[in-house]
């Protein structure tokens, strides 16, 4: 007998930030398992699309690409309408889009808390928190009308705990200019946890589940070796995550396997938050 417990076949999913590392991983795993996927991204670069998404999926119309500014309600509504016109009301929304300050950032946006620019703080919160709120408003309302749906927000260990600034100390030793992991990302990601709980209880009787997935640092070849070494020294498992190690979580949360789960935080962080 074919087991459909973890099936997402035929489901319609929207994944924001799906031309990035984790977003593309999420979207492709859903595609691989038979879902229809709408990629929402601030910019659409054809070369990147061809690099990240199989020609077969693109030609067969299993995946569509939408240039969306998730901080703009009109932009969201236009894209969501396009999805519903093509495939109907989405079954799954993965709120993955976000911006963060990397160690390569200039000192004016990575300096001490006391001098951190207000406009940068607002920009990060606007994308990471307000953008998720607007996406949930637009898609969650449709799901509630349909009486079904799964919303998966993507959190961060830095939304649960403060950043370990010592990990970034090598930047001063290397360049003479310190890097301080800024407050904006942590503040914005932290807000996602109660936004998740609020909407989980708000839509619970409408058949809409809202959960949050908390990943830890994911390996990228562009990361400084010193950063990777410092990070891994503090990680109980002793290494950074690989993108594909979150496939199971996305499938679980998108499928009926998590049908009785809402308002929950699924932490997959290599043990980081267990210290």
For every residue of the chain, which 3-state class applies, written as one string?
CCCCCCCCCCCEEEEECCCCHHHHHHHHHHHHCCCEEEEEECCCCHHHHHHHCCHHHHHCCCEEEEECCCCCHHHHHHHHHHHHHHHCCCCEEEECCCCCCCCCCCHHHCCCHHHCCHHHHHHHHHHHHHHHHHHHHHHHHHHHHHCCEEEEEECCHHHHCCCCHHHHCHHHHHHCCCCCCCHHHHHHHHHHHHHHHHHHHHCHHHCEEEEEEEECCECCCCCCHHHHHHHHHHCCCCCCECHHHHHHHHHHHHCHHHCCCCCCEEEECCCHHHC
Q: Name the percent of the chain lying above pLDDT 90.
A: 95
| Residue 68 lies inside a defined structural domain of this protein | yes
Q: How many domains does the chain have?
A: 1
pLDDT at 3 over 90: no
pLDDT at 2 over 80: no
- Report yes or no on whether pTM surpasses 0.85: yes
CATH of residue 79: 3.40.50.720
* Mean per-residue pLDDT, 210-215: 99
Q: Predicted confidence band at 249 (pLDDT cuts at 50, 70, 90)?
A: very high
| Residue 3 lies inside a defined structural domain of this protein | no
Q: Name the percent of the chain lying above pLDDT 70.
A: 99
| Residue 5 lies inside a defined structural domain of this protein | no
pLDDT at 203 over 70: yes
Q: What is the pLDDT of residues 140-192, one digit of tens each?
A: 999 999 999 999 999 999 999 999 999 999 999 999 999 999 999 999 999 99
Q: What is the pLDDT of residues 62-78, one digit of tens each?
A: 999 999 999 999 999 99
Q: What is the pLDDT of residues 7-61, one digit of tens each?
A: 999 999 999 999 999 999 999 999 999 999 999 999 999 999 999 999 999 999 9
| Residue 206 lies inside a defined structural domain of this protein | yes
Instruction: Identify the domain containing residue 103 by its residue range.
Output: 12-274
| Residue 225 lies inside a defined structural domain of this protein | yes
Q: What is the pLDDT of residue 111?
A: 82
| Residue 221 lies inside a defined structural domain of this protein | yes
| Residue 250 lies inside a defined structural domain of this protein | yes
Which residues belong to the active site? 185
| Residue 7 lies inside a defined structural domain of this protein | no
């Amino acid at each position: 007998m074919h087991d459909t417990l973890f099936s997402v076949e035929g489901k319609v999913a929207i994944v924001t930030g799906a031309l990035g590392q984790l977003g593309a991983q999420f979207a492709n795993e859903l595609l691989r398992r038979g879902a229809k996927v709408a990629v929402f991204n601030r910019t659409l670069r054809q070369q990147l699309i061809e690099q990240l998404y199989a020609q077969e999926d693109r030609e067969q119309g299993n995946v569509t690409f939408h240039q969306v500014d998730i901080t703009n309600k009109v932009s969201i509504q236009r894209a969501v309408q396009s999805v519903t016109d093509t495939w109907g009301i989405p079954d799954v929304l993965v709120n993955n889009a976000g911006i963060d300050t990397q160690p390569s950032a200039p000192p004016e946006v990575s300096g001490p808390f006391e001098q951190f620019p207000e406009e940068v703080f607002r920009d990060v919160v606007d994308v990471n928190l307000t953008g998720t709120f607007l996406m949930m408003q637009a898609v969650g309302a449709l799901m509630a009308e349909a009486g079904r749906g799964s919303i998966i927000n993507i959190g961060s260990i830095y939304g649960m705990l403060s950043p370990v600034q010592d990990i970034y100390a090598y930047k001063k030793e290397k360049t003479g200019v310190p890097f301080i992991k800024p407050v904006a990302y942590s503040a914005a990601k932290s807000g996602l946890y109660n936004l998740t709980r609020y909407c989980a209880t708000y839509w619970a009787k409408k058949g809409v589940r809202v959960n949050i997935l908390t990943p830890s640092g994911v390996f990228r070849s562009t990361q400084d070796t010193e950063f990777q070494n410092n990070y891994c020294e503090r990680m109980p498992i002793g290494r950074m995550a690989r993108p594909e190690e979150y496939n199971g979580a996305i499938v679980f949360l998108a499928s009926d396997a998590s049908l009785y789960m809402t308002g929950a935080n699924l932490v997959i962080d290599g043990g980081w938050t267990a210290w």
